[in-house]
Structure 1
Amino acid sequence: MQFELGTDGPKVIVVGVDGSDTSMRAGAYAAGLARRQRARLVVVFVTGAPAASRLVAEAAGAVEQAINESIEDMRRQVHEGALHTGVQVEFVPTRGDPYNELIRIATELRADAVVVGASRRFGHRFVGSLAVRLVKSGRWPVTVVP
Protein backbone atom coordinates (compact mmCIF):
# COMPACT_ATOMS: atom_id res chain seq x y z
CA MET A 1 0.00 0.00 0.00
CA GLN A 2 1.36 3.41 -1.00
CA PHE A 3 0.97 6.43 1.22
CA GLU A 4 0.26 10.05 0.46
CA LEU A 5 3.29 12.29 0.72
CA GLY A 6 1.27 14.97 2.51
CA THR A 7 1.13 17.73 -0.08
CA ASP A 8 -1.77 19.57 -1.63
CA GLY A 9 -1.46 19.68 -5.39
CA PRO A 10 1.35 18.56 -7.63
CA LYS A 11 4.94 19.29 -6.66
CA VAL A 12 6.58 17.82 -9.78
CA ILE A 13 4.93 18.27 -13.18
CA VAL A 14 6.35 16.58 -16.25
CA VAL A 15 5.31 17.89 -19.65
CA GLY A 16 6.19 16.28 -22.97
CA VAL A 17 6.88 18.59 -25.89
CA ASP A 18 7.79 17.84 -29.48
CA GLY A 19 7.37 21.23 -31.16
CA SER A 20 3.80 20.59 -32.39
CA ASP A 21 1.09 23.15 -31.68
CA THR A 22 -0.67 20.88 -29.19
CA SER A 23 2.53 20.06 -27.31
CA MET A 24 3.46 23.73 -27.09
CA ARG A 25 -0.01 24.48 -25.68
CA ALA A 26 0.56 21.63 -23.21
CA GLY A 27 3.84 23.28 -22.21
CA ALA A 28 2.10 26.63 -21.66
CA TYR A 29 -0.66 24.95 -19.64
CA ALA A 30 1.90 23.06 -17.52
CA ALA A 31 3.86 26.28 -16.91
CA GLY A 32 0.73 28.01 -15.65
CA LEU A 33 -0.10 25.06 -13.44
CA ALA A 34 3.46 24.96 -12.07
CA ARG A 35 3.37 28.70 -11.38
CA ARG A 36 0.05 28.51 -9.51
CA GLN A 37 1.06 25.40 -7.54
CA ARG A 38 4.67 26.49 -7.00
CA ALA A 39 5.66 23.15 -8.48
CA ARG A 40 8.81 21.98 -10.20
CA LEU A 41 8.29 21.88 -13.98
CA VAL A 42 10.25 19.41 -16.06
CA VAL A 43 9.98 19.79 -19.84
CA VAL A 44 10.85 16.57 -21.66
CA PHE A 45 11.79 16.80 -25.34
CA VAL A 46 12.08 13.37 -26.93
CA THR A 47 13.69 12.93 -30.33
CA GLY A 48 13.84 9.69 -32.23
CA ALA A 49 17.14 7.89 -32.38
CA PRO A 50 18.04 7.40 -36.03
CA ALA A 51 18.98 3.90 -37.08
CA ALA A 52 22.61 4.73 -37.81
CA SER A 53 23.28 1.34 -39.34
CA ARG A 54 20.87 2.15 -42.17
CA LEU A 55 22.28 5.58 -42.87
CA VAL A 56 25.36 6.36 -44.86
CA ALA A 57 28.00 8.35 -43.01
CA GLU A 58 27.14 11.72 -44.61
CA ALA A 59 23.42 11.34 -44.00
CA ALA A 60 24.01 10.20 -40.42
CA GLY A 61 26.02 13.35 -39.76
CA ALA A 62 23.34 15.57 -41.26
CA VAL A 63 20.61 13.83 -39.25
CA GLU A 64 22.64 14.18 -36.06
CA GLN A 65 23.19 17.88 -36.74
CA ALA A 66 19.46 18.40 -37.40
CA ILE A 67 18.56 16.64 -34.13
CA ASN A 68 21.06 18.75 -32.17
CA GLU A 69 19.70 21.93 -33.77
CA SER A 70 16.11 20.96 -32.88
CA ILE A 71 17.17 20.29 -29.27
CA GLU A 72 18.87 23.68 -29.01
CA ASP A 73 15.89 25.42 -30.62
CA MET A 74 13.51 23.78 -28.14
CA ARG A 75 15.86 24.60 -25.24
CA ARG A 76 15.76 28.27 -26.33
CA GLN A 77 11.95 28.26 -26.59
CA VAL A 78 11.61 26.66 -23.14
CA HIS A 79 14.05 29.18 -21.65
CA GLU A 80 12.13 32.10 -23.19
CA GLY A 81 8.83 30.68 -21.95
CA ALA A 82 10.27 30.28 -18.45
CA LEU A 83 11.37 33.92 -18.43
CA HIS A 84 7.91 34.99 -19.63
CA THR A 85 6.01 32.99 -16.99
CA GLY A 86 8.50 33.33 -14.15
CA VAL A 87 8.61 29.58 -13.64
CA GLN A 88 11.81 27.65 -12.99
CA VAL A 89 12.02 24.97 -15.65
CA GLU A 90 14.24 21.98 -16.07
CA PHE A 91 14.73 21.02 -19.73
CA VAL A 92 15.43 17.34 -20.35
CA PRO A 93 16.28 16.35 -23.93
CA THR A 94 16.33 12.61 -24.51
CA ARG A 95 16.18 10.13 -27.35
CA GLY A 96 13.97 7.15 -27.86
CA ASP A 97 10.30 6.29 -27.83
CA PRO A 98 8.24 9.19 -26.37
CA TYR A 99 6.01 6.90 -24.29
CA ASN A 100 8.90 4.94 -22.76
CA GLU A 101 10.97 8.07 -22.11
CA LEU A 102 8.12 9.99 -20.47
CA ILE A 103 7.31 6.97 -18.29
CA ARG A 104 10.97 6.58 -17.32
CA ILE A 105 11.53 10.25 -16.47
CA ALA A 106 8.22 10.71 -14.65
CA THR A 107 8.95 7.59 -12.59
CA GLU A 108 12.51 8.67 -11.76
CA LEU A 109 11.32 12.13 -10.68
CA ARG A 110 8.32 10.78 -8.77
CA ALA A 111 6.10 13.09 -10.82
CA ASP A 112 2.72 14.08 -9.45
CA ALA A 113 1.27 14.92 -12.86
CA VAL A 114 2.01 14.48 -16.55
CA VAL A 115 0.84 16.89 -19.25
CA VAL A 116 0.89 16.18 -22.98
CA GLY A 117 -0.72 17.56 -26.11
CA ALA A 118 -3.45 15.70 -27.95
CA SER A 119 -2.35 13.82 -31.05
CA ARG A 120 -3.49 15.11 -34.42
CA ARG A 121 -2.66 11.91 -36.29
CA PHE A 122 -5.64 10.12 -37.79
CA GLY A 123 -4.50 6.60 -36.94
CA HIS A 124 -4.12 7.40 -33.26
CA ARG A 125 -7.90 7.41 -32.88
CA PHE A 126 -7.84 3.69 -33.48
CA VAL A 127 -4.38 2.52 -32.40
CA GLY A 128 -3.88 4.77 -29.38
CA SER A 129 -1.98 7.98 -28.99
CA LEU A 130 0.77 8.79 -26.55
CA ALA A 131 -1.81 10.49 -24.32
CA VAL A 132 -4.14 7.47 -24.30
CA ARG A 133 -1.25 5.14 -23.51
CA LEU A 134 -0.14 7.37 -20.62
CA VAL A 135 -3.66 7.51 -19.21
CA LYS A 136 -3.99 3.73 -19.49
CA SER A 137 -0.72 3.26 -17.60
CA GLY A 138 -2.57 4.60 -14.55
CA ARG A 139 0.56 5.91 -12.83
CA TRP A 140 -0.21 9.63 -12.64
CA PRO A 141 -2.99 12.08 -13.36
CA VAL A 142 -2.54 12.89 -17.05
CA THR A 143 -3.80 16.13 -18.55
CA VAL A 144 -4.28 16.08 -22.33
CA VAL A 145 -4.29 19.55 -23.85
CA PRO A 146 -6.10 19.96 -27.22
Structure 2
Amino acid sequence: MDDFHVNSLRLGRLIDTMPKCWRWTGFNNGVDIVMNMSHGVLTMKRNCLSQATPYSINLKSERVVHYRAIISDSSGACLFDSTKQSIVLRLDQSVVVARLGDDVTLPISVHLLYLAAQPAPPSFLYVNQYIKDMVKKEDEIDAICRMSAE
Protein backbone atom coordinates (compact mmCIF):
# COMPACT_ATOMS: atom_id res chain seq x y z
CA MET A 1 0.00 0.00 0.00
CA ASP A 2 1.39 3.41 -0.93
CA ASP A 3 1.70 6.63 1.11
CA PHE A 4 -1.42 8.09 -0.49
CA HIS A 5 -3.76 5.32 0.67
CA VAL A 6 -2.15 5.18 4.12
CA ASN A 7 -2.23 8.94 4.80
CA SER A 8 -5.17 10.35 2.84
CA LEU A 9 -8.42 11.47 4.40
CA ARG A 10 -11.48 9.49 3.35
CA LEU A 11 -14.50 11.72 3.08
CA GLY A 12 -18.00 10.87 1.87
CA ARG A 13 -21.32 12.44 0.99
CA LEU A 14 -24.73 11.05 0.04
CA ILE A 15 -26.24 12.86 -2.93
CA ASP A 16 -30.02 12.58 -2.95
CA THR A 17 -30.82 15.69 -5.00
CA MET A 18 -28.95 17.78 -7.54
CA PRO A 19 -27.50 20.33 -7.63
CA LYS A 20 -25.57 19.83 -4.39
CA CYS A 21 -22.62 21.86 -3.11
CA TRP A 22 -20.60 21.07 0.03
CA ARG A 23 -17.26 21.23 1.78
CA TRP A 24 -15.67 19.27 4.59
CA THR A 25 -14.49 21.85 7.11
CA GLY A 26 -11.64 21.51 9.53
CA PHE A 27 -9.56 19.26 7.31
CA ASN A 28 -7.30 19.65 4.30
CA ASN A 29 -4.31 21.39 5.88
CA GLY A 30 -5.96 24.79 5.50
CA VAL A 31 -6.95 24.22 1.87
CA ASP A 32 -10.67 24.94 1.45
CA ILE A 33 -12.02 22.47 -1.10
CA VAL A 34 -15.60 22.94 -2.31
CA MET A 35 -17.31 20.03 -4.08
CA ASN A 36 -20.23 20.53 -6.46
CA MET A 37 -22.49 17.95 -8.14
CA SER A 38 -24.78 19.30 -10.84
CA HIS A 39 -26.30 17.57 -13.88
CA GLY A 40 -24.20 14.47 -13.15
CA VAL A 41 -20.91 16.41 -13.17
CA LEU A 42 -18.73 16.42 -10.05
CA THR A 43 -16.32 19.35 -9.68
CA MET A 44 -13.68 20.23 -7.11
CA LYS A 45 -12.79 23.86 -6.43
CA ARG A 46 -9.97 25.34 -4.41
CA ASN A 47 -11.89 28.14 -2.74
CA CYS A 48 -9.75 31.13 -1.78
CA LEU A 49 -11.24 34.44 -2.77
CA SER A 50 -14.75 34.06 -4.21
CA GLN A 51 -16.50 32.77 -1.04
CA ALA A 52 -15.97 33.24 2.67
CA THR A 53 -13.03 31.05 3.71
CA PRO A 54 -13.02 30.77 7.50
CA TYR A 55 -10.86 27.62 7.42
CA SER A 56 -8.45 28.57 4.63
CA ILE A 57 -5.02 29.49 5.91
CA ASN A 58 -2.93 28.68 2.87
CA LEU A 59 -3.18 31.18 0.04
CA LYS A 60 -0.18 30.04 -2.02
CA SER A 61 -0.81 30.75 -5.69
CA GLU A 62 -0.65 27.04 -6.56
CA ARG A 63 -1.31 23.96 -4.47
CA VAL A 64 -0.77 20.30 -5.41
CA VAL A 65 -3.73 18.14 -4.44
CA HIS A 66 -3.76 14.35 -4.61
CA TYR A 67 -7.16 12.68 -4.74
CA ARG A 68 -9.17 9.65 -5.72
CA ALA A 69 -12.92 10.01 -6.28
CA ILE A 70 -15.23 7.01 -6.18
CA ILE A 71 -18.96 7.29 -6.89
CA SER A 72 -21.32 4.43 -6.04
CA ASP A 73 -25.01 3.83 -6.63
CA SER A 74 -27.49 3.02 -3.86
CA SER A 75 -26.56 -0.68 -3.96
CA GLY A 76 -22.83 0.06 -3.61
CA ALA A 77 -21.94 -0.70 -7.23
CA CYS A 78 -19.14 1.51 -8.53
CA LEU A 79 -20.30 4.05 -11.11
CA PHE A 80 -16.99 5.91 -11.34
CA ASP A 81 -13.43 5.59 -10.04
CA SER A 82 -10.96 8.32 -10.96
CA THR A 83 -8.01 6.27 -9.68
CA LYS A 84 -5.28 8.26 -7.95
CA GLN A 85 -4.85 11.73 -9.47
CA SER A 86 -2.50 14.63 -8.77
CA ILE A 87 -3.47 18.12 -9.86
CA VAL A 88 -2.22 21.65 -9.35
CA LEU A 89 -4.99 24.00 -8.27
CA ARG A 90 -4.58 27.76 -8.51
CA LEU A 91 -6.58 30.24 -6.41
CA ASP A 92 -10.32 29.67 -6.99
CA GLN A 93 -9.65 27.14 -9.76
CA SER A 94 -12.31 24.51 -10.39
CA VAL A 95 -11.74 21.16 -12.13
CA VAL A 96 -14.09 18.45 -13.35
CA VAL A 97 -13.55 15.26 -11.37
CA ALA A 98 -16.30 13.03 -12.85
CA ARG A 99 -19.01 13.06 -15.52
CA LEU A 100 -21.93 10.70 -14.96
CA GLY A 101 -24.59 12.34 -17.11
CA ASP A 102 -28.05 13.71 -16.33
CA ASP A 103 -29.68 10.28 -16.28
CA VAL A 104 -27.88 9.02 -13.15
CA THR A 105 -30.30 7.46 -10.64
CA LEU A 106 -30.20 9.05 -7.20
CA PRO A 107 -29.22 8.55 -4.46
CA ILE A 108 -25.51 8.10 -5.09
CA SER A 109 -22.57 8.30 -2.71
CA VAL A 110 -19.44 10.32 -3.42
CA HIS A 111 -16.23 9.20 -1.72
CA LEU A 112 -13.08 11.29 -1.83
CA LEU A 113 -9.66 10.15 -0.69
CA TYR A 114 -7.76 13.39 -0.32
CA LEU A 115 -4.21 14.45 0.47
CA ALA A 116 -3.11 18.10 0.32
CA ALA A 117 0.34 17.81 1.85
CA GLN A 118 3.22 15.38 1.65
CA PRO A 119 3.03 13.40 4.88
CA ALA A 120 6.00 13.08 7.18
CA PRO A 121 7.37 9.57 7.61
CA PRO A 122 5.55 7.72 10.39
CA SER A 123 7.26 8.18 13.75
CA PHE A 124 7.48 4.43 14.33
CA LEU A 125 10.12 4.27 11.57
CA TYR A 126 12.50 6.23 13.79
CA VAL A 127 11.53 4.33 16.95
CA ASN A 128 11.92 0.96 15.22
CA GLN A 129 15.43 1.88 14.06
CA TYR A 130 16.34 3.05 17.58
CA ILE A 131 15.07 -0.23 19.07
CA LYS A 132 17.01 -2.26 16.49
CA ASP A 133 20.18 -0.30 17.28
CA MET A 134 19.72 -0.81 21.04
CA VAL A 135 19.07 -4.54 20.66
CA LYS A 136 22.17 -4.85 18.47
CA LYS A 137 24.30 -3.07 21.12
CA GLU A 138 22.88 -5.29 23.87
CA ASP A 139 23.64 -8.40 21.79
CA GLU A 140 27.21 -7.19 21.25
CA ILE A 141 27.66 -6.57 25.00
CA ASP A 142 26.22 -10.02 25.79
CA ALA A 143 28.63 -11.62 23.31
CA ILE A 144 31.60 -9.80 24.87
CA CYS A 145 30.48 -10.84 28.37
CA ARG A 146 30.13 -14.49 27.28
CA MET A 147 33.58 -14.45 25.70
CA SER A 148 35.21 -12.99 28.83
CA ALA A 149 33.39 -15.51 31.06
CA GLU A 150 34.84 -18.42 29.09
* TM-score after normalising by structure 2: 0.27
Q: Which has the higher contact order (CA 8 A, sep 6+)?
A: 1
Larger proportion of helix: 1
